[in-house]
Amino acid sequence: MNDDAHPEPTLYERVGGADGLRALVDRFYDLMCLEQEFAGIFKMHPVPLDGSRDKLFWFLSGWMGGPNLYIEQFGHPRLRARHLPYQIGIAERDQWLRCMAWAMQELALEPALQERLLQSFYETADWMRNTPT
């Protein structure tokens, strides 16, 4: 039940605030670097990955109901437009989702939170596809 006296925590709060979100983003990129199954999405990122890590952290911060760090620095995210230079198909979508699911599992996020996030991540990742396969 949600009321004004006891608002439900944001996704940002549920993931552990800035520290929890940073841990999630860092584990996501660590797995991307370490696991061969994510080679397709890894090759789309500039090395070193520091800038990519920061941008995902800043974006997810606002997207999850925390500080709008990305918008404060860059304006509207324009996710699809920013990703158009990269061929994103079903394989890339699924790699990104699997990598994020693995990161959430390793950090032992509550199962209901993982499910909620994966559903939303799927919708965004599928919308980002710009090739049919």
Mean pLDDT for the chain? 95
What total of structural domains would you count in the chain? 1
Report pTM. Answer: 0.93
pLDDT at 23: 98
pLDDT value of residue 6? 74
> pLDDT class for 1, splitting at 50, 70, 90?
low
Does 133 reside within a domain?
A: no
Q: Give the separation between CA 15 and CA 23, rounded to whole angstroms.
A: 10
Rounded Cα distance between 110 and 121, Å, is 16
Share of the chain above pLDDT 70, in %: 97
Residue 71: domain span: 11-128
- CATH number for 25: 1.10.490.10
Write out pLDDT tens, residues 17-42.
999 999 999 999 999 999 999 999 99
Residue 36 lies in a domain: yes
Tokens of 83: 């990703």
What is the SS3 assignment for 3? strand
Question: What is the reported pLDDT for 26?
Answer: 98
Task: Specify if 5 maps to a domain.
Answer: no
Per-residue pLDDT tens over the stretch 80-104: 999 999 999 999 999 999 999 999 9
Q: What is the DSSP string of 68-93?
A: -HHHHHHSS--HHHHHTTS---HHHH
